[in-house]
Amino acid sequence: MSRDYAIYDVFTSRKLAGNPLAVVFDAEGLDTISMQAIAREFNLSETVFIGPVESPAHSARLRIFTPARELPFAGHPTVGAAIALAERAEGADSLDRVLVLEENVGPVRCVVRRADGPSFAEFDLPRLSSHVAGTFDPQAVADALLVSQADIGFENHRLSVWSAGVPFLMVPVRDLGVAASVRFDPVLWTRAVASGGDSTLAAYVYCRAGSDHRSSFHARMFAPDMGIAEDPATGAAAAALSGAIHHFDQLADGHHAFVIEQGVEMGRPSMIHLHIEAESGAIARARIGGEAVKIAGGRIDL
Would you say 271 and 11 are in contact if contact means Cβ atoms under 8 Å apart?
A: yes
Q: Could you confirm whether 87 is annotated as catalytic?
A: no
Cα dist from 199 to 167, 222, 243, whole Å: 11, 13, 22
Q: How far apart are CA 291 and CA 76, in angstroms?
A: 10
Task: Pick the catalytic residue from 46, 122, 230, 291.
Answer: 46
Q: How does strand 167-172 pair with strand 202-208?
A: parallel
Would you say 142 and 102 are in contact if contact means Cβ atoms under 8 Å apart?
A: no
- Residue 66, number of CB atoms within 10 A of its CB: 23
Q: Is the CA virtual torsion 152, 188, 170, 45 positive or negative?
A: positive
Would you say 196 and 143 are in contact if contact means Cβ atoms under 8 Å apart?
A: no
Beta bridge partners of 288: 123, 274
Q: Residue 237 contacts by C-beta under 8 Å, 6 or more apart in sequence?
A: 75, 166, 168, 202, 204, 219, 221
Residue of 47, 2, 8 whose CA lies nearest to 26: 2
**Residue numbers annotated as active site:** 46
